[in-house]
Chain A
Amino acid sequence: MIFSQIFETINTGLVVLDKEMTVRHWNRWMALHSEISSDEITGKNLFEFFPELDRPHFLRNCRSVLTFGHFCFFSQKLHQYLFPMLPAGSLAEEFQFMQQSCTMGPLRNDHGEIENLYLSVQDVSEVVSYQKKLVHMNQIDHLTGVYNRNFMETQLQKEIERCQRFKHDLSLLMIDIDLFKNINDTYGHQCGDFVLKKITQRITDKIRKTDFLIRYGGDEFCCILTETPTNSAFKVAEQLRQVICSEPFVFKETSFETTISLGVASLNENDVDVESLLRKADTALYKAKQNGRNTVANTTR
């Protein structure tokens, strides 16, 4: 009596299946979220209602629970969900389906033999949503919406390793807004923020989806160009230079011009790590500044 009440009222989906995948029990949580009542589904094959579960991976786990009597865990990270259900409340905007963490385990008869198995379904949408926000906060620059330095360090490391392994090209642009301090001093910090946002927008529109734009520091940006040799990187850098200087910026009816300087560095055998590549790009940027700003340079030309 107590246990059946718990079975029905617990805030977890509970399903009991027999070896033929016939539904033996289906608790109210399952009925509520799947919109399939217990009467409808009990005694029927689970796959009639959820054909997408009839796949090798799910069946393998069922067999393994029935054979070894252990538990199988369907992690949200891998599966997202087992039973397609609508997410509750405001999470519907974020997820098409409720994110679930599911467990499957054996149920034994009086002789200790495994006769049935159970599935428990837990709604973890809220947790996943927080995780996503945390990852986002950890990787994205709040003001401009492009990646932050923290993200760059891990991503650049990955890209360098990949390129070294497969002998692919990789280039890096170091970008600095010329005389940015003057903008802040003349038009105020609000305008400075506006320029940072506009510049990242213009750059983002010009680069490929596979490239990464990063806010490296105050007015310094960095662009990881995947699969790009020096010559092409120079072309991209030149395009970026032009897209910034070609059109004035307008902030609260004030129009003014801004330019950027770019340093180009490409990965070669001498660059063993993130630091050496960054240093090279930095040196190139310094040269571009020395050449009179609004220019593109690398360490050799």
Chain B
Amino acid sequence: MSDIVPELFTDEEKDILQEVMNIAFGQASADLAEVIDIFVILSVPEIHVLKGHQLPGYLCEELQSSGTVNIIEQGFLGKFSGQALLIFPTGAEKELLTLFNQDQELTTLDIDIDILEQETLVEVGNILIGACIGKIAELLSDVVTYDPPRLIAKDYCLEDCQQSPVPAESFAISIRTVFRFDQQNVEGYLFLITNQHSIDWLKKALSTFLESFE
């Protein structure tokens, strides 16, 4: 875990956070396979904590793509609340549509292919975000509700991006994971954007989580 915002978490808290994420993503991965009938692997999440204004530069570096991305945003509200951002490179929506529409159920509908791909992206985003956040919340004994997910940026060029998609002073817990569906690599990034209030709660929840093992 990087030290971009070193003062926010102690080393021990970082370790627990990483552990919680590992367990959450492991469970999410297993459950997803059952729920969507598609074998999904979520790579071990890499966690970084950064400030909102650092996000565009960080994303640019991480994704290392001169290409464009699609960003799905979903608000979540619990003791731990904020926004989840799921970022896929442009083109992933085509692969996701193929994967999630193997029974051809959707393509028989009379819908513009662009809308179909977009809506698939949003639906898949909803499931992935729900699975990850749901598991984190469960581990930390929180119950979370969600806003409808929205596609906030389509074919968005990160390099052109001067403005952060989140407030400069907010905290972003970046969880980078690679989603692998069946044999297809679809790389996605999940970011949880949160505030000081939630971070305080998170610190307490992490210590409670640790105590339950002592």
B126 to chain A, nearest CB (A): 6
Q: Which one of A55, A78, A103 contacts B111 once the chains associate, using CB atoms below 8 Å?
A: A78
Chain A residue nearest in CB terms to B129: A70
A111 to chain B, nearest CB (A): 12
Q: Which residues of B contact A70 (CB under 8 A)?
A: 126-127, 129-131, 133-134, 144, 146
Digitize B29-52: 1 where CB-to-A-CB distance is under 8 Å, 0 elsewhere: 001001111000000000000000
Q: Which one of A55, A64, A78 contacts B130 once the chains associate, using CB atoms below 8 Å?
A: A64
Chain B residue nearest in CB terms to A101: B148
Chain B residue nearest in CB terms to A103: B148
Q: Which one of B103, B106, B143, B145 contacts A71 once the chains associate, using CB atoms below 8 Å?
A: B145
- For window 22-64 of chain A, which residues contact chain B by CB distance below 8 Å? 55-57, 60, 63-64
Q: Which one of B34, B111, B115, B126 contacts A67 once the chains associate, using CB atoms below 8 Å?
A: B34
Digitize A61-91: 1 where CB-to-B-CB distance is under 8 Å, 0 elsewhere: 0011001111111010110100000000000
Cβ contact within 8 Å between B149 and A73: yes
Cβ contact within 8 Å between B115 and A77: yes
Given the known interface contacts A56-B105, A77-B111, the answer about A68 and B122 at a Cβ–Cβ threshold of 8 Å is no
Chain A residue nearest in CB terms to B101: A57
Cβ contact within 8 Å between B130 and A68: yes
What CA separation (Å) do A300 and B113 show in the bound complex?
Answer: 38
What CA separation (Å) do A64 and B135 show in the bound complex?
Answer: 12
Given the known interface contacts A73-B126, A75-B119, A77-B119, the answer about A108 and B143 at a Cβ–Cβ threshold of 8 Å is yes
- For window 1-48 of chain B, which residues contact chain A by CB distance below 8 Å? 28, 31, 34-37
Cβ contact within 8 Å between B106 and A57: yes
Q: Decide yes or no whether B95 CB sits under 8 A from chain A.
A: no
Digitize B193-210: 1 where CB-to-A-CB distance is under 8 Å, 0 elsewhere: 000000000000000000
Q: Which one of B36, B134, B146 contacts A60 once the chains associate, using CB atoms below 8 Å?
A: B36
What CA separation (Å) do A68 and B134 show in the bound complex?
Answer: 5
Q: Which residues of B contact A73 (CB under 8 A)?
A: 122-123, 126, 148-149
B66 to chain A, nearest CB (A): 19
The count of chain B contact residues (Cβ–Cβ below 8 Å) is 32
Q: Which residues of B contact A108 (CB under 8 A)?
A: 143
Q: Decide yes or no whether A112 CB sits under 8 A from chain B.
A: yes
Q: Decide yes or no whether B157 CB sits under 8 A from chain A.
A: no
Residue in A69, A72, A80 whose Cβ sees the most chain B Cβ within 10 Å: A69
Q: Decide yes or no whether B60 CB sits under 8 A from chain A.
A: no
- For window 100-147 of chain B, which residues contact chain A by CB distance below 8 Å? 103, 105-106, 109, 111, 115-116, 119, 122-123, 126-127, 129-131, 133-135, 137-138, 143-146
Cβ contact within 8 Å between A67 and B105: no
Chain B residue nearest in CB terms to A69: B134
Cβ contact within 8 Å between A71 and B130: yes
Digitize B148-190: 1 where CB-to-A-CB distance is under 8 Å, 0 elsewhere: 1100000000000000000000000000000000000000000
Q: Which residues of A contact B35 (CB under 8 A)?
A: 60, 63-64, 67-68
A70 to chain B, nearest CB (A): 3
What CA separation (Å) do A68 and B131 show in the bound complex?
Answer: 5
Q: Which residues of A contact B131 (CB under 8 A)?
A: 64, 67-68, 70
What CA separation (Å) do A23 and B116 show in the bound complex?
Answer: 30
Q: Which residues of A contact B145 (CB under 8 A)?
A: 71, 105
Cβ contact within 8 Å between B146 and A71: yes
Chain B residue nearest in CB terms to A73: B148
Chain A residue nearest in CB terms to B134: A68
Cβ contact within 8 Å between B105 and A55: yes
Q: Which residues of B contact A71 (CB under 8 A)?
A: 126, 130, 145-146, 148
What CA separation (Å) do A78 and B151 show in the bound complex?
Answer: 14
- Where the two chains meet, the residues of B that have a C-beta atom closer than 8 Å to any C-beta of A are 28, 31, 34-37, 103, 105-106, 109, 111, 115-116, 119, 122-123, 126-127, 129-131, 133-135, 137-138, 143-146, 148-149
Closest 6 CB pairs of A and B: A70-B130, A68-B134, A78-B119, A63-B35, A73-B148, A68-B130
Q: List 24 A-B contacts (CB under 8 A).
A: A55-B105, A56-B37, A56-B103, A56-B105, A57-B106, A60-B36, A63-B35, A64-B130, A64-B131, A67-B35, A68-B131, A68-B134, A69-B134, A70-B131, A71-B126, A71-B146, A73-B149, A75-B119, A75-B122, A77-B115, A78-B119, A103-B148, A105-B145, A108-B143
List 19 additional contacts besides A70-B133, A78-B123; criterion CB under 8 Å.
A56-B103, A57-B106, A63-B34, A63-B35, A64-B130, A67-B34, A67-B35, A68-B127, A68-B134, A69-B137, A70-B126, A70-B144, A72-B123, A72-B127, A75-B119, A75-B122, A77-B111, A77-B115, A78-B109
